[in-house]
A and B are shown apart, each in its own frame.
Chain A
Amino acid sequence: MSVATATPLIEVEHLTMRFGGLVAIDDVSFTARPREITAIIGPNGAGKTTVFNCITGFYKPTVGRLTLRGGRGEFLLERMLGHEIGQRAKVARTFQNIRLFPGMTVLENLLVAQHNKLMRASGWSILGLLGIARYRDAEKAAVELARSWLERIRLLADADRPAGELPYGAQRRLEIARAMCTEPELLCLDEPAAGLNPRESAELNELLVSIRDRDGIGVLLIEHDMSVVMNISDHIVVLDYGRKIAEGNPAAIKNDPAVIRAYLGTDDEAIDG
């Protein structure tokens, strides 16, 4: 648990997202701190992925401010283009349905993640074409970073296999490693435990905890698997029908009546009231 006074890594203020007449997110505010895992939970259709898409620039929020304060300064994410959020603000994400580059090898997937760093080193390809030593060193360093991640996710032996050939659980781990290879300040994981068996999801817990403790970055996590959420989260935000209904540590959330109502449903009288 980190100190409560630590400055937030990302501050979401009054985030609202409308699609035509549909209000997907309605005035949601929360913060996430560095060196913490912040989980966003809620029933299906609560707007969790929409929050992610706003943070990572896939949607432009209708209303609201998203401030990221990382080691590289302050960024207003809602004003940035999609790819700039990954490139400059250093926010990385994974997807609910895995999005690897299936035809490319595992190692290539991790090198593509280091694209911007390598592009600079290759002098926007011009120096790289000439085979300048500076680029070769940069590439070697990039391969080393990839190798260290492959060791952490235990895929070193599969480095030269096409990513699409890996088993499902390995693809999930690889997608997280690929996001980490961008050397992010904030890692957004969209249901990383979906489709994993209990053993794999226990391994995932370990990986996420090690990312928090060893790499010292902030993690935002959307997850349905409560064994993951309750075990590793430091802070939980609960959404229901686009609104934030609760926020707090796992113990408090477990006993929150509003959360229980959202997940288990309510009696008819309760709705009338």
Chain B
Amino acid sequence: MGSRLPQMLKDAGLTAFVGAALGIFIVGFRTVDIGRGLTFDYHLVDLAVAVVVIFVGRLGLSLAANGLRWPAIALGAVMIAAGASPMQLPSSFLHWFVALGGVLLVIRAIWPWANSAVNEAARTPSGRALSTAGTKWFGWLLLAGAVVMPFTPFADQKTMDLGVLILTYVMLGWGLNIVVGLAGLLDLGYVAFYAVGAYSYALLSTQHGLGFWSVLPLAGMMAALFGILLGFPVLRLRGDYLAIVTLGFGEIIRLILLNWFDLTNGPAGIGSIPGPTLFGAVFAETAPAGKQTVSEMLGIPFDGNHRLIFLYYIILVLALITNVFTQRMRRLPVGRAWEALREDETACRALGINPTNTKLTAFAIGAMFAGFAGSFFAAKQRFISPESFVFIESAIILAIVVLGGMGSQIGVVLAAVLLIGLPEWFRDLGNYRMLAFGMAMVLIMVFRPRGLIAHREPSIRLHPAGSGGSG
């Protein structure tokens, strides 16, 4: 082992040199405008710290790769301690950088061992039973947590807002999961149906005075109709071609919203959209003429948080409906045909399955749930504009589905929490927030390339689960 140490040191030194050479221009100095011209602002301490971290990190990785687990863990621990220590560094980001480097190193060092241990444990009969029970109970546990969340002490306004946001994306993820995860149709324009739902509610409520609950099904149907309209001509396309056309469709809808000034008010958007009511009562301090506020109806003092809690439960119920509906559809012939289409369209045709109709149902149902979510979004925001329905939204929803593990319902929840929650939690990092976010994504894709939950539960079993029937 000792003979390899000089080699490792050389390698680490080389990597640190490359880091220094690259970093000197990116981190080392910056040009600052002082009015009369430009001057340099030096950050050589930052650079030095980064180079040291690179050197130690690279050395640790080499040690781990050579099976020297404990020295690598020790190095990682030193880095974590250094990052967490109150030592004076020029920026708080450097503390994070050092500590995160250490965490990565420790993970890398114990990964092969932990991975094989977990796999080994999962292969034993009791381990397998535990993992099936685990996935089963994990969902119920999450649900229970989501239900009681508004009544826990840490449910301040910020957390509740984030909860509503995450649940909206969970619902959108579950809706898109039907299209992408089950039917295997790569849809890059999903946000278009979300927009259709949102504008349906916004227009019907502000111009025709319809309430949230009567528009909700209409918005869903409207979005489903758009899904069918788009689906008919394009669903004969496969794979990348379908992705491009749906991408185009998403943009077309956004451009129409932006330019059809008479109907949509263009880029200025639609404002003062009424929120959802509880049995006709509104969530406000004073009710408009002829209406009642919720606090009057229930005889409780007014609290601005009530509206947020109400919205939270609406989106929770809507998301759960999406989930239960999808789970039931999966066990019906149409759901199995969706999955079969994803696996092999040619074989489906040979078995007498009409691919166009089957794809259309998936597309329309997925669009319908986006429509529901869209009208909820409009009711929550009370203001919508085409700005909210840009391509990046489609990309985020798709990322949630792919990251969660195609077709996995729990995976979508975890991925939504990560993708929507992480950027919020990393706000302390300031400008480096998206960097940390990107690093987290890379890590997930390295360690779980098939998504967080890649396991597929059969829609039907001949032998009860856990029996020795299968090999």
Q: Mark B338-349, 1 if CB is under 8 A from A, else 0.
A: 011011101111
List chain A residues, Cβ under 8 A from B348.
83, 112
Q: Complex formed: what's the CA distance from A162 to B461 in Å?
A: 11
Compute how far the CA of A93 lies from the CA of B346 in the bound complex, rounded to whole angstroms: 11
Q: How far is the CB of A97 from chain B (nearest CB, A)?
A: 11
Instruction: Count contacts on B: residues with CB < 8 A to the other chain.
Output: 35
Within the assembled complex, what's the spacing in Å between the Cα atoms of A162 and B340?
Answer: 12
CA distance A226 to B405 in the complex (A): 46
Given contacts A104-B343, A107-B460, contact A82 B349 (CB under 8 A): yes
Contacts of B469 in A (CB 8 A): 157, 159-160
Docked Cα-Cα span, A88 to B348, in Å, equals: 14
A128 at the interface (CB under 8 A from B): yes
Q: Which of A84, A103, A182 contacts B351 (CB 8 A)?
A: A182
**B458 adjacent to chain A (CB < 8 Å):** yes
Measured CB to CB, the closest approach of chain B to A39, in angstroms, equals 20
Q: Which residues in A have their C-beta under 8 angstroms from that of B349?
A: 57-58, 82-83, 86
Q: Which one of A83, A114, A150 has the highest number of Cβ atoms from chain B below 10 Å of its Cβ?
A: A83
Cβ < 8 Å to B, chain A residues 94-133: 95, 99-105, 107-108, 111-116, 118-119, 122, 124-125, 128-129
In the bound complex, residues from chain B placing their C-beta under 8 Å from that of A93 are 350
A245 at the interface (CB under 8 A from B): no
Q: Which residues of B contact A122 (CB under 8 A)?
A: 332-334
What separation, in Å, do the CA atoms of A161 and B462 have in the docked complex?
A: 10
B460 touching A128 by the CB < 8 A rule? no
CB distance from A139 to the nearest CB of B (A): 8
Bound CA span A114–B337, Å: 10
Once bound together, how far apart are the Cα atoms of A103 and B342, in whole Å?
10
Tell me whether B332 and A128 are in contact (CB under 8 A). Answer: yes
Q: Which chain B residue lies CB-closest to A94?
A: B350
- Whether B351 and A111, one on each chain, are in contact in the complex, defined by CB atoms closer than 8 angstroms, is no
Give the distance to chain B from A157, nearest Cβ to Cβ, in Å: 6
Total interface residues on A, CB under 8 Å, equals 51
CA distance A115 to B469 in the complex (A): 26
Contacting residue for A182 out of B333, B352, B361, B462, CB 8 A: B352
Contact with A along B311-347 (1 / 0, CB 8 A): 0000000000000010011001110110110111011
> Are A112 and B470 in contact, CB atoms less than 8 angstroms apart?
no
List of A residues within 8 angstroms of B336 by Cβ: 104, 108, 111-112, 115
Known: A115-B352, A147-B462. A125 touches B340 (CB 8 A): no
B39 touches A (CB below 8 Å): no
- Across the interface, B462 reaches (CB within 8 A) one of A82, A116, A124, A143, namely A143
Task: Determine if B153 is an interface residue (Cβ-Cβ < 8 Å).
Answer: no
Q: Are A108 and B460 in contact (CB under 8 A)?
A: yes
Residues on B with beta carbons closer than 8 Å to the beta carbon of A82: 349-350
Scan A128-159; emit 1 where CB is below 8 A from any B CB, else 0. Answer: 11000001000100010011001000001111
The residue that B354 contacts in the complex, of A83, A102, A139, A178, with Cβ under 8 A, is: A83
Is B4 located at the chain interface by the 8 A CB criterion? Answer: no
Q: Does B456 contact A (CB under 8 A)?
A: yes
Whether the pair A99, B332 counts as a contact (CB closer than 8 A) is no
Residue of A nearest to B337 (CB): A115
- Distance of A103 Cα from B470 Cα, bound (Å): 15
Interface string of A230-261 (1 = CB under 8 A from B): 00000000000000000000000000000000
Query: Is A158 in contact with B344, judged by CB distance below 8 angstroms?
Result: no
Cα A156 to Cα B340 with chains together (Å): 21
Task: Return B454 CB to nearest CB of chain A, in Å.
Answer: 11
CB contacts under 8 Å to B, within A183-241, are none
Smallest CB separation, B468 vs chain A (Å) = 9
Q: B340's contact among A101, A129, A161, by CB below 8 Å, is which?
A: A101
A41 interfacial by beta-carbon distance below 8 Å? no
Min CB–CB distance A35 → chain B (angstroms): 22
Considering the chains assembled together, what is the distance between the CA atoms of A178 and B349 in angstroms?
Answer: 13
Q: Is there contact, CB below 8 Å, between B332 and A125? A: yes
Known: A83-B353, A111-B460; 13 extra A-B contacts, CB below 8 A, are A58-B346, A87-B354, A95-B350, A107-B460, A115-B351, A122-B332, A125-B332, A125-B334, A125-B361, A129-B332, A159-B469, A159-B470, A160-B462
